[in-house]
């Protein structure tokens, strides 16, 4: 088999894996948009905030320590304990649920029935607030996140592909874990939305919140639940990306990778986020390998992802799996 083809297959597989990581971020956007019609600009920052909180809890960091020390002249930084990863994840989830409640109480319950653009602007405000709040709460230094996920070359795949092709493929263990987690997440979310009472209520609110209210569904509860779910997805994305690059401010920029995925997969489809992510991941990696690096000087991935999404948009404005737009006059 030609060398280029073998390398292309490795690039293709890595593109799939990268796509899963993009999809993890896109899922949070889809959940909130599906249930409330809000395009949540703050989703990337929520991933950052969740990861910061997780590391802070694991390391026993005193929240707002810089502020406390500046006001009271103290020197407190750590509680002196380390919390096991699993417990820290649960505690972080409690924080994310509390955040969802506060966000709903202070912002979105006051904006019911407002134009989507107003809701969108509110999420921009939320993003900037959360960014500063997270920074003040946990500090802006780069933190190592280690919840025990494996990282680096998978020797099994390396060996198997070497025996077949005479070249061992590089697949990152972390990407494999991310793929399994994303698959589980999608299955759980789809089952929840289709078969649970709360999931059906969520879909009812998404279809027509006034009709849902008239049959006794609590809009407040559903929105808090949806923001909590988005917080959970943000936590999962934060763990994956934070393990990869350390937990730092740049984590919030992963939202940039989710936008073309949403354009392609549609804003209302959970499987669409996954399929969109895979197409974007594979598309950008294969383009970079075959055309970008050899002919265009490289670094084509970011803009090519958007070009790919725009091409799809021309033919399917609602995205691959989005709900068909029907306007009646």
Partner 1 sequence: MKLKLAALALGAVMAAGPAMADLVFPSLSYRTGPYAPGGIPFADGYADYFTLLNERDGGIGGEKIQMPECETAYNTEKGVECYESTKGSGALVYQPLSTGITYQLIPKVAADGIPMLTSGLGRTSAKNGAVFPWVFNFPANYWDGASIAIKHMLDLNGGDISDKKIALVYHNSAYGKEPIRTLEELATKHGYELTLLPVDHPGQEQKSQWLQIRREKPDYVIMYGWGVMNQVAIQEAANIRFPMENFIGIWWSGSENDVVPVGEGAHGYKAVAFHNVGDDYPLYDDLKAYVFDKGLAAGAGDQHGSVVYNRGVYAAMLVAEAAKAAQEIHGTAAITPVMMRDGMENLEMTEEKMTALGLPKFGPEFKVSCENHGGNGYGAIAQWDATAGEWSLITDYFQSDQEVLAPLVEEDSAAYAAENGIEPGC
Contact with partner 1 (CB under 8 A): which of 160, 253, 291, 310? 253
Q: How far apart are CA 246 and CA 140, in angstroms?
A: 12
Q: Helix, strand, or coil here: 172?
A: strand
Shortest Å distance, C-beta 289 to partner 1:
7
Please report whether residue 291 would count as binding partner 1 according to CB under 8 A.
no
Shortest Å distance, C-beta 251 to partner 1:
8
Please report whether residue 55 would count as binding partner 1 according to CB under 8 A.
no
Say what angle helices 255-265 and 43-59 make with each other, to 10 degrees. 130
Please report whether residue 245 would count as binding partner 1 according to CB under 8 A.
yes
Contact with partner 1 (CB under 8 A): which of 2, 71, 72, 73? 73
Shorter beta-carbon distance to partner 1: residue 102 or 299: 299
Q: DSSP labels for 105-169? A: HHTGGGSTT--HHHHHHHHHHHHHHHHHHHHHHH-SS-B---SS---SB-HHHHHHHHHHHSSPP
Please report whether residue 257 would count as binding partner 1 according to CB under 8 A.
yes
Token digits for 218?
A: 């609590």
Please report whether residue 14 would count as binding partner 1 according to CB under 8 A.
yes
Q: Are 161 and 80 in contact (CB under 8 A)?
A: no
Please report whether residue 135 would count as binding partner 1 according to CB under 8 A.
yes
Helix/strand number for the chain, H first, E second? 14, 0
Please report whether residue 239 would count as binding partner 1 according to CB under 8 A.
no
Shorter beta-carbon distance to partner 1: residue 248 or 318: 248
Q: How far apart are CA 217 and CA 11, in angstroms?
A: 48
Please report whether residue 11 would count as binding partner 1 according to CB under 8 A.
yes
Please report whether residue 140 would count as binding partner 1 according to CB under 8 A.
yes
Contact with partner 1 (CB under 8 A): which of 129, 165, 249, 306? 249
Contact with partner 1 (CB under 8 A): which of 78, 109, 110, 144? 144
Token digits for 116?
A: 């989507």
Closest CA to 247 of 20, 47, 24: 47
Please report whether residue 172 would count as binding partner 1 according to CB under 8 A.
yes
Residues 18-47 contacting partner 1, CB under 8 A: 18
Shorter beta-carbon distance to partner 1: residue 88 or 254: 254
Q: Are 224 and 35 in contact (CB under 8 A)?
A: no
E strands, 179-329, in order: none
Please report whether residue 66 would count as binding partner 1 according to CB under 8 A.
yes
């Amino acid at each position: 088999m030609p060398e280029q083809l073998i390398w292309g297959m490795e690039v293709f597989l890595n593109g799939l894996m990268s796509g899963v990581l993009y999809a993890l971020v896109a899922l949070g956007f889809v959940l909130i948009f599906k249930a409330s019609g809000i395009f949540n600009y703050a989703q990337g920052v929520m991933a950052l905030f969740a990861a910061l909180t997780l590391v802070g809890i694991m390391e026993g960091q005193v929240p707002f320590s810089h502020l406390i020390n500046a006001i009271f002249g103290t020197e407190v930084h750590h509680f002196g304990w380390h919390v096991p990863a699993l417990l820290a994840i649960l505690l972080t989830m409690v924080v994310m649920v509390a955040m969802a409640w506060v966000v709903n109480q202070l912002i979105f319950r006051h904006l019911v029935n407002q134009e989507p653009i107003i809701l969108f602007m509110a999420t921009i405000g939320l993003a900037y607030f959360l960014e500063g709040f997270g920074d003040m709460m946990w500090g802006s230094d780069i933190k190592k996140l280690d919840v025990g996920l494996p990282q680096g070359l998978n020797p099994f795949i390396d060996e198997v592909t070497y025996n077949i092709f005479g070249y061992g493929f590089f697949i990152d263990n972390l990407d494999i874990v991310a793929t399994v987690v994303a698959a589980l997440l999608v299955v759980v979310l789809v089952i929840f939305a289709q078969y649970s009472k709360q999931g059906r209520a969520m879909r009812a609110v998404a279809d027509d919140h006034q009709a849902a209210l008239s049959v006794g569904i609590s809009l407040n509860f559903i929105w808090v639940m949806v923001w909590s779910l988005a917080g959970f997805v943000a936590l999962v994305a934060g763990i994956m990306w934070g393990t990869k690059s350390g937990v730092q401010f740049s984590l919030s920029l992963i939202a940039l990778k989710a936008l073309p995925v949403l354009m392609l997969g549609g804003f209302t489809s959970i499987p669409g986020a996954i399929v969109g992510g895979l197409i974007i991941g594979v598309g950008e990696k294969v383009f970079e390998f075959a055309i970008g690096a050899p002919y265009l000087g490289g670094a084509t991935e970011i803009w090519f992802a958007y070009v790919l999404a725009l091409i799809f948009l021309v033919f399917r404005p609602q995205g691959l799996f989005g709900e068909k737009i029907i306007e009646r006059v």
